[in-house]
Structure 1
Amino acid sequence: MTKISVTFEIDDTKLRGASDTHLATLWHVVQANPAPHGDKHAGEIAERIAREIVRRWLGGVEPELWRHQGRSYYWSNLCRFARYEAGGAPGTPEWDAGTWVPRPAPDTGSCDGGARGDR
């Protein structure tokens, strides 16, 4: 077999229309590009292809909703310092008539809560 050269032409304006298989092939091609590391154009096309791959991947991923909310800090502290005593069985109207009662303070064995720096 004789030595052959293969050339790829990539039109970055058509990446959105490329099939997933073709896009994956382009990713491998740009990574195998013999251009020196740090080459401006090699890096730019690799980044464009990577961004299209990520755009498609995230397009099918549901965003996590409600993980962080303004009230989360207060709820976290409420649960740290108090516990809920229900007013009745779960699912009954009396359940909601319960009360929050203080949690006992942890016994640290010192008056300053153990913040003396000798830990």
Structure 2
Amino acid sequence: MAAITIAFEVDSDRLGSYTDEHLAQLWHIGQANPAPFGDAAACNFAELVGREVIRRWLAQVSPALWTHQASHVAAKTEWRA
């Protein structure tokens, strides 16, 4: 089989509208991009996709609400080993 070139055109302004499956594919495309290290367009695209992945993940994760409380300060200073 002869070598082929496959190009992808992505509207980065629409990342929020793509399905999770499509976004995952875009993540791989962004990382496999053959652009030189430090290429501004490649780096910006990869960062935008990564931020959308993180945004979606955080939307599904409950925050830790009670990890640090004012009452913990008193408890820490009273505790002795």
Common topology (TM > 0.5): yes
User: Residue 71 of structure 1 aligns to a residue in which SS?
Assistant: helix
**CA separation in 2, counterparts of 1:61 and 1:69?**
21
Encode CA deviations 1:62-118: one digit per residue, 9 max, x unaligned.
00011101221112222x15xxxxxxxxxxxxxxxxxxxxxxxx8xxxxxxxxxxxx
Unaligned runs of 5+ in 1: 82-105, 107-119
Whose helix proportion is higher, 1 or 2?
A: 2
- 1:51 corresponds to which letter in structure 2? R
Please tell me the root mean square deviation across aligned C-alpha atoms, in Å. Answer: 1.3
Identity of aligned residues (%): 44
Asked whether 1:25 is paired with 2:28, we answer no
- Flag the structure with more relative contact order, 1 or 2, with Cα contacts below 8 A and sequence separation at least 6: 2
The structure 1 segments of at least 4 consecutive aligned residues displaced by more than 6 Å after TM superposition are none
TM-score in terms of structure 2 length: 0.92
Bigger Rg over Cα: 1
Q: How many residues align?
A: 81
TM-score in terms of structure 1 length: 0.64
Unaligned runs of 5+ in 2: none
